[in-house]
A = this chain, B = another copy of it.
Amino acid sequence: MIPTQNNFKRGLRHKSMRRRADNVIQPKKAPDIIPPLAPETIRIVPLGGVEEVGRNMTAIEYGNDIIVVDCGIQFTDAETPGVDFILPNTKYLEERVSKIRALVITHGHLDHIGGIPYLITRLGNPPIYTREFGSLMIKKRQEEFPHLAPLNFKIVATDDKAAVALTPDLKLRFFGLTHSIPDSTGIIIETPFGDIVNTGDVRVENENGVPAAKEVAQYSIFKNRNTLLLTMDSTGIEKPGFSPSEDHILKTIDRIVAEAPGRVIIATFASQVERIIEFFKTAKRYGKKVVIEGRSMKNNVDMIKLLNLTETDHVIPVDDIEKYPGNKILMIATGGQGEEFSALMRMSNKSHKFVKLMRTDTIILSSSIIPGNEKAIAKLKDNLFRHDSKIITYLDTDVHTSGHGKRGELEWIHKQIPHHFFMPVHGHHYMLKQHAELAYLLGDPRENVIVPDNGSIIEIRDKGQTLVRLPERAPSDDVVVEGFSVGDISEVLIRDRKMLADEGFVVVVAMVHNKTGRLKKSPDIISRGFVYLRESQELLSEVRHIIKNSIEGITVGMNPINFDYAKNAVNEDVARFLFQKTAKKPIIIPVILSV
């Protein structure tokens, strides 16, 4: 029997069988058959962002129309090696694509707009309703996908007197609120039975827990409206009280900048656009030049210039930095999360082309730690503290506040928007659950609150009287972006990658004389990630011996030779030997060729 070109397929089948014994893969259950939408019923389907922080997307369906709110990505971690982003699962929408009337964007952060290039075609290229800054962020990102059809933007403002009539039954309004990027908005979808209000991401500017006047004004519209369903950001629910105000943060940083003996380097998220605008003003106030470092920071500063959101004539290129005295320089950089090749990391490890850190430099880390980045930030801080520069973080000084309101802020918003039903969104399940508990405490009856999962189908029935969750669920398996591919996540692939990372692999290539069943020569062994081969010559020589015995023990005298038997024998014998010798379990792949 001559091994065929389908070798790899058999290998895969064999392997996955072996592994199934260790770690059972659940068979996928058949997709639910979702009942058609009844008349006078509003359906709400969160497709992402309610079992995680990221990939926000919610569908609102009524009659023959669907409005999609937000289209975000989620960043990945060590649990999904090799994956670039995770997207909401849009199968429910794809099956109803002719009903989609609009994609509505609350603000221009990637967890709200990042999925557009991958998904807009699947949504049938609907018009995108967004405020101006969001549209610029979307356009900028779209430049990386030149093959896509141009987007159809409908730019809206919060002060539009009339609502946008998306369909005869559904109207859209934007309302201003506070987050951390310009043109952050909440959305009101007017239905025949009342408003569906989505805050998007939200915080409340405040002075020691007293909301600012502009906040009170922003929410005053809800006094005279009929909010049928409120959905709200839950990211900050675990933290009690109110955040320090952005105003307080800016004053603190202003004072540091004013008193700094030399250069000031501020690292913050490029997404903190409103704060960055204030840094420009601070630099202007003290006669300092501004240097922008980091690609995403430069991109967002381009938007600031384009919209003329502040004076930017004091920006200088980084290679001019030596032309000015240190105390005339304010640098705004990315890299506060310890990103490997970011501007700040390069300064910290002395590989930045133009900036060498000095004793007189003041470095402000105007950001908190995003969960998962702790190790990278520890590395960054280690590097920074190897210099004699002054380093200021949010741990010792108020130089950062989150764009997501804490519990006290969320509570205040609840009270500003009287509502009939409530659905917490934007966060892990445990955050949503705690947000629901807050709603009960504030008086929402339990039957008027639903904590959704991705794919939950929630309906408001009886002309707005009852809130139900269907037993059926919209498809919600992770959809992943990996290189050019967008599709279902493969559990097999992810598990192989984790095994490869921990144990490595060993490929055994042996040529067997078809007639004698003997090896033509000593087998070849190819391995990566298992042990350091240069120091393991003896081990390899023993393995070759085992392979020879293992194969010939099966094949000599066998006619015709059953190569699958021989492969199984090699696999088992080599795995057992290597585990005895090393306590490791590399993926073993035997290739036996007949000659």
Q: A residues touching B (Cβ–Cβ < 8 Å)?
A: 2-3, 5, 7-9, 11-12, 15, 51, 77-79, 81-82, 238-240, 371-372, 374-375, 378, 381-382, 384-386, 391, 393, 395-396, 428-430, 433-434, 482-485, 487, 490, 492-493, 496-498, 500-505, 507, 509, 511, 521-535, 540, 544, 581-584, 587, 589, 591, 593, 595
Instruction: Name A531's contact: one of B2, B3, B493, B595 (CB within 8 Å).
Output: B493
Question: In the complex the two chains form, what is the Cα distance from A501 to B482 in whole Å?
Answer: 13
Instruction: Name A81's contact: one of B7, B77, B79, B501 (CB within 8 Å).
Output: B501
Q: Are A371 and B382 in contact (CB under 8 A)?
A: no
Which residues of B are found within 8 Å of A375, using beta-carbon distances? 77-79, 371-372
Q: Are B382 and A378 in contact (CB under 8 A)?
A: no
Instruction: Name A493's contact: one of B374, B497, B532 (CB within 8 Å).
Output: B532
Q: Are A532 and B430 in contact (CB under 8 A)?
A: no
Q: How far is the CB of A46 from chain B (nearest CB, A)?
A: 15
Question: In the complex the two chains form, what is the Cα distance from A544 to B428 in whole Å?
Answer: 45
Q: How far is the CB of A444 from chain B (nearest CB, A)?
A: 17
A-B contact pairs, 13 of them (CB 8 A): A2-B521, A5-B524, A5-B544, A7-B525, A8-B540, A12-B533, A82-B503, A371-B375, A493-B504, A493-B532, A497-B501, A497-B504, A591-B591
With A395-B239, A428-B378, A497-B529 as given contacts, are A5 and B507 in contact (CB-CB < 8 Å)? no
Q: How far is the CB of A161 from chain B (nearest CB, A)?
A: 43
What residue in chain B is nearest A500 (Cβ atoms)? B500
Q: Are B381 and A533 in contact (CB under 8 A)?
A: no
Q: Are A507 and B504 in contact (CB under 8 A)?
A: no
Which residues of B are found within 8 Å of A526, using beta-carbon distances? 7-8, 11, 507, 589, 591
Q: Are B507 and A589 in contact (CB under 8 A)?
A: yes
Question: In the complex the two chains form, what is the Cα distance from A504 to B495 in whole Å?
Answer: 11
Q: Are B500 and A238 in contact (CB under 8 A)?
A: no
Q: How far is the CB of A471 from chain B (nearest CB, A)?
A: 17
Q: Are A500 and B529 in contact (CB under 8 A)?
A: yes
Question: In the complex the two chains form, what is the Cα distance from A374 to B381 in whole Å?
Answer: 19
Q: Are A593 and B493 in contact (CB under 8 A)?
A: no
Q: Are B433 and A493 in contact (CB under 8 A)?
A: no
Residue in A3, A391, A501, A527 with the greatest tally of chain B CB atoms within 10 Å? A501
Q: Are A396 and B238 in contact (CB under 8 A)?
A: yes
Residue in A82, A487, A497, A583 with the greatest tally of chain B CB atoms within 10 Å? A82
What residue in chain B is nearest A386 (Cβ atoms)? B429
Q: Are A378 and B386 in contact (CB under 8 A)?
A: no
What residue in chain B is nearest A437 (Cβ atoms)? B385
Q: How far is the CB of A535 from chain B (nearest CB, A)?
A: 8
Q: Are A524 and B3 in contact (CB under 8 A)?
A: yes
Instruction: Name A395's contact: one of B9, B238, B395 (CB within 8 Å).
Output: B238
- Apart from A9-B533, A500-B528, A505-B505, list 12 A-B contacts with CB within 8 A: A15-B528, A51-B382, A238-B393, A238-B395, A382-B428, A384-B430, A485-B531, A496-B529, A497-B529, A500-B504, A505-B528, A595-B595
Question: In the complex the two chains form, what is the Cα distance from A375 to B430 in whole Å?
Answer: 13
Instruction: Name A523's contact: one of B5, B372, B505, B587 (CB within 8 Å).
Output: B5
Which residues of B are found within 8 Å of A434, using beta-carbon distances? 385
Question: In the complex the two chains form, what is the Cα distance from A524 to B589 in whole Å?
Answer: 12
Residue in A393, A487, A505 with the greatest tally of chain B CB atoms within 10 Å? A505
Q: Are A430 and B82 in contact (CB under 8 A)?
A: no
Which residues of B are found within 8 Å of A12, using beta-carbon distances? 533-534
What residue in chain B is nearest A52 (Cβ atoms)? B378
Question: In the complex the two chains form, what is the Cα distance from A483 to B503 in whole Å?
Answer: 10
Q: Are B593 and A509 in contact (CB under 8 A)?
A: yes
Which residues of B are found within 8 Å of A507, using beta-carbon distances? 507, 526, 589, 591
Question: In the complex the two chains form, what is the Cα distance from A8 to B504 in whole Å?
Answer: 14
Q: Are A429 and B382 in contact (CB under 8 A)?
A: yes
With A374-B371, A524-B8, A533-B8 as given contacts, are A582 and B484 in contact (CB-CB < 8 Å)? yes
Q: Are B81 and A502 in contact (CB under 8 A)?
A: yes
Instruction: Name A532's contact: one of B240, B385, B490 (CB within 8 Å).
Output: B490
